[in-house]
Amino acid sequence: MTLDVAEGGCFCGAVRYRVTGPPNALSLCHCRSCRSAAGAPSLAWAIFPESRFELVAGELATFEPSPGVERGFCARCGTSLSYTRANRPGLFDVTTASLDDPEAFAPLEEIWTEERLTWVSPNPALPQFSQFSTPTPVTNECPEDYRATALIRSMRMRASPSVESICSRRGFV
Q: In what order do the strands lie in the sheet with 53-57?
A: 5-9, 16-20, 53-57
Predicted local distance difference test score (pLDDT) of residue 143: 52
pLDDT band at 66 (very low <50, low <70, confident <90, very high): very high
What are the pLDDT digits (tens) for 98-129?
A: 999 999 999 999 999 999 999 999 999 999 99
pLDDT band at 167 (very low <50, low <70, confident <90, very high): low
Which residue, among 122, 120, 70, has the nearest Cα to 91 in the 3D structure?
70
DSSP 76-111: TT--EEEEEETTSTTEEEEEGGGBS-GGGG--SEEE
